Structure 1
């Protein structure tokens, strides 16, 4: 599991406490003031990457297809790129060391220098970064009820004698090993319904001890990666309901979590006891250089359509201390995606620098991570619209040299449909004209069009954001939580569902909900169910339909913000003085999306909220929503009022502002606009959609903010 870190790109934020007053983007004074200047120098950055919202994805190429049987196997990658693999071949441990790995390497050549193991039991490998080939293997002893470990100092070509850990009362099945250096590490393995540990300190492994894990009957797999604390992947059977599951969790090293304690078990995939899926096997977990957990596991179906299928999932890194109130339920995993391997024991992930590997006993796959492609100098035009529940952009690139054609193409390897582009719009306002930026928007490329016309050659990217991604993601399994359960809290469900689509979302860094999701001290905790085939975006909209909140795209993350009434202006626009100038302002008066809101709760409880003035003028326009959480008069009344106010600010247009680009402004910010010629005296509006229009050509450059405005 050794690796050479790749510098993280994009947002490094994982969790952040948001309050109603956290508004507008923090930017330098020089950048903020540049938007007010008479002469402005645009700076637009567009960078493509083989990631989706900051998470590496893999375009696997199969390097090796062999005849090895389906059996437990482990892989690690050393600092110099050498790969070590070990497999349990019906009780005979076989190993290989492959320097300069490639498709033609000797993947079928195995050596038997480790000795005997218990047939069919698990095996684990760990390479120690910063060493010249040191790695360790853990496996179940061939005779005694114990786990053995061995050390190699030559990249797994040969192995030292076995170190026997504590003999247990019953036979272990699975094990995981991690050493942070030669003298310090930990081995985890199962004994019945417990996971036990043996810590290595001062160069020696100590006696085993119970980890006091609870709620399990048995285990089928365990994998581990140390990133401060131990990030652990577990599979097995739960004792409460005999469900078969694979979960992510952490075992504390005293960094972010207390030493020798488990955090919450966060479900990645699972079935109830009646399912014909007979088992899951947790195979590997890694924490990539950007801080994202990635895991692989296998699923065995024994019903009418029997299969063995392998899956990959990603999850936000668990980094906050227990004192913050953080639970792993706030860092859920993405909806698992299938991968090619069909090994019942599951394929293992590993990476070093820019090279990712996936391996089973009879197969090896490779996926290089290309360097990011900076397309900024090619940008001819950019049209972006970033809203509180949508995001899109059209980017036109100069392709007069034809270099972009067929991307990824060997020259531009990070530009591709399905990959991301990171957009930043600012000014050359820094020292000596250095570029400075405000908000970054990370979007996915949905379409690439190459076009020849009027003597020009262009490449146009059509891009979309997190909500659009959530609209493409469907649930494979049902998901149900009971009312008043911890996980039933609306803000935790919202985070979980966005993360299920592979998008980091932050509502709150602790279990405390935002102010708007707490009525009279009662946290909003409805019973909630998602059915197979429902789109994630639909479930998200069901959560917030009667909550006065919106989302802000902050680089690769979705941040949820309260939309409190009566907020003061973040920016003032007028045609004189030292405030921000504007080119055009249009005030809009239109028919309302609704002027009468009714929320119905359980037991035929309902409440209305309405705008009588609008009803008198426009006629009644009713919106009915049902919310299982509206179980009290206080809650149902709050939800009705919130629904009516949400419609007013999010659906009913109140104006449009066109002004020089302002890098500090974000959706949901409040602007004040004054224009005596319209008789408008500092009226305030909320930015519901933020637009950026950039175009350069022989007639000059257009660089404008185009904002759709709603009620505050």
Structure 2
């Protein structure tokens, strides 16, 4: 249950309560800003290796290499009206396919490229935000032709250049002088792109192929004593994979942390109706560090390109903007989220949260056309935007609410009749986002690679959601590492349900985070209905268990659970589970107990209609006292609720009392 102030708890129990519903829209998905890109420049430059950087004074610096020449551009105070077509020729006689990389700290900027031989890494520096550049300086020499470059500054005295020769990535470190070119410890066949930024360690994205010719977008880390020791390499972790022979390749990534972890890469398809376009992804808002980050399902960007995009932003992002660039293009997006308060226009609310689905339907006044095109509030709505609904009441301290409940707008419709004109927003909860996600390809995890908690974390991460836990978890959730697969076209919701069916834990959502927790008959009640909190009406059922016997068949093992008194009365109501991941007696018996426990939670269904409890959450344990139902401090567990609010048409202001009630669906505790 949400934590509410004492004054709000008192108000929601009062028979003279005045409800308060706060509704806001945010241009975010799962607490992450939806970037709205504006193209500021469309040029005629050929697609070629390029890089971008925002220096300490906010200047946008771009570099490109083409025809054996190196060009650079500095645009101070970049705007949509700035000139992005003027380039300065900085070097000639460089390698015909030289990659380029930019990095910096404050007013210091360094530009790296490859000499005519293809093996020497050269650089030029600027101490004036790119306004002028030093002569060429040698950084190091590789053992073969350098195909990819990335550069990262930790501070003004320490930086690392990452370079690739064939399938080997090497580091070239500067700390009061250049060190040796040192190969990494990972093994791949080819490297088709490198990108890096600093965040405690040197965090990288690598594109290329493995030894079986499958194509990958990987993340990895070059340690600086945060997640890994100085100079140690982390493993390659897949973001996206394409099997050999599919015609899909990945190239030219970009990565950084303008507000959350964000990455770009180029996807090429060489089959019939070939294409080559950038894709983007971002991490979850609550990611603790790069090593534990989970990436959203990548999304295509409307551009045909052979060299991908570079990303540049100030650090920290004081200007609140981020750029992506190509040799012939500059795009800009604001990083600050926009919030619109719709509270004053709310006429009705229907909010539902269930164990496997949730929704919010909000009816707003539109009598003056404020939500029509060109209306004063038209910019407050966006498809996919976050809808935040907070339930509350007027208290002695003013209007107070519980924590906002998050939904995501899928549609709106305008309607009118007689003197009434409204707009109705329909939004889904986290389960709805998961239901709308479909696997693009076959996804599989081998036994021994991830726990069920980590698998759940990966699946909910596909739609940008976070996963956390409350209390201790079962070994089935936190220790077992089963084989698992998601078929093409399968929804994220189905995949999550299949994983939850294998464990005793339950899952509920609090804002953009899913929480898994164990439920026990010994859990204490957190709220009481029927004493201070009135019950309008209700039903209490006693029914036979729909399942009273469970059989589980594993790999050469068998386990079962049963409820003998139920079997004696209604006979054997059997469910069977076959899971070859279960290879010990403890594991099959644990699964049987988990299945039995979940059927017990569905028993003794009780339905109540009460004034809204502003802090209610799924799986709260509550007590019910209602003599007419034969219940006295009976423990029950919340399995769903629906909130209904309507402002009276004869009263003014959304805070005036109208319809304000909640349907509670309760099960066994």
Common fold, TM-score beyond 0.5?
yes
Render the CA deviation track for 1:157-208: whole Å, top value 9, x for unaligned: 542223321223333322222335444443322355543334444xx45314
Aligned residue in 2 for 1:405: 372
- Give 1:523 deviation, angstroms: 3.0
Partner of 2:338: 371
Structure 1 residues 456 and 225 mapped into 2: Cα distance closer, same or farther (>3 Å)?
farther
1:478 aligns with 2:442: yes
Q: Give the superposition deviation at 1:517.
A: 4.0
What are the superposed Cα offsets for residues 318-339 of structure 1, whole Å, 9 maximum, x if unpaired?
9658xxxxx94x5332221111
| Closer/same/farther in 2, CA of residues 569 and 455 from structure 1, 3 Å limit | same
Deviation of 1:497 after TM superposition, in Å, equals: 0.9
C-alpha spacing 1:618/1:362, structure 2 compared with 1 (3 Å) = farther
Matched, 1:597 2:550: yes
One of 142, 145, 150 as aligned partner of 1:168: 142
Task: Give the C-alpha shift of residue 591 in structure 1.
Answer: 6.4
For 2:117, the equivalent position in structure 1 comes to: 143
Q: What CA deviation, in whole Å up to 9, does each residue of 1:441-467 have, x standing for no partner?
A: 221101111222231222211010121
Q: 1:459 aligns with which of 386, 401, 423?
A: 423
Is the contact made by 1:394 and 1:462 (CA closer than 8 Å) also made in structure 2? yes
CA distance in 2, matches of 1:48, 1:211: 49
1:426 pairs with 392, 414, 430, which one? 392
Cα offsets for 1:290-311 (capped at 9, x unmatched)? xx21111112233344332321
Q: Distance in 2 between matches of 1:300 and 1:639?
A: 44
Q: How far apart, CA to CA, are the structure 2 residues paired with 1:400 and 1:78?
A: 49
Counterpart CA distance in 2 for 1:293 and 1:75 is 17
RMSD (Å), alpha carbons? 3.1
Give the alignment of 1:25-424 within 5 angstroms.
25-78=2-55, 82-99=59-76, 101-102=78-79, 105-126=82-103, 128=105, 131=107, 134-143=108-117, 145-191=119-165, 193-201=167-175, 204-208=176-180, 210=182, 212-239=184-211, 241-277=212-248, 279-289=249-259, 292-316=260-284, 320=288, 328=291, 330-351=292-313, 353-368=319-334, 371-406=338-373, 412-424=378-390
- After TM superposition, the score normalised by the length of structure 1 is 0.84
| 2:497 match: secondary structure | helix
Identify if the C-alpha distance between structure 1 residues 530 and 505 changes in structure 2 by more than 3 Å, giving closer, same or farther. Answer: same
SS of structure 2 residue aligned to 1:35? helix
Deviation at 1:53, TM superposition (A): 1.0
Question: 2:654 aligns to what?
Answer: none
Q: TM-score, normalised by structure 2?
A: 0.89
| Unaligned runs of at least 5 residues, structure 2 | 652-656
Q: What is aligned with 1:518?
A: 476
Distance 2:103 2:424 in 1: 45
- Provide the C-alpha distance between the structure 2 equivalents of 1:288 and 1:428, rounded to a whole number of angstroms: 39
Question: Are the equivalent residues in 1 in contact too, given 2:452–2:476 (CA < 8 A)?
Answer: no
- SS for the counterpart of 2:133 is coil
SS of 2:515's equivalent? Answer: strand
Asked if 2 retains the 8 angstrom alpha-carbon contact of 1:341 and 1:360, the reply is no
In 2, Cα distance between the equivalents of 1:94 and 1:417? 41
Contact 2:287 2:293 in 1 (8 A): no
Q: State the aligned residue count.
A: 658
Distance 2:609 2:310 in 1: 53
Is the 8 Å Cα contact of residues 114 and 146 (structure 2) preserved in structure 1?
yes
5+ residue gaps, structure 1, are 1-23, 322-326
Task: Find the counterpart in structure 2 of residue 711 from structure 1.
Answer: 668
Structure 1 contact 585–656 (Cα < 8 Å) conserved = yes
Residues 39/540 of structure 1: CA separation in 2 closer, same or farther (3 Å cut):
same
Is the 2:118–2:144 contact (alpha carbons within 8 Å) kept by the matching residues of 1? no
Matches within 5 A, 1:679-690: 679-690=630-641
Distance 1:640 1:587 in 2: 28
Matching residue of 1:646 = 598
Partners of 2:366 and 2:330 in 1: CA distance: 37
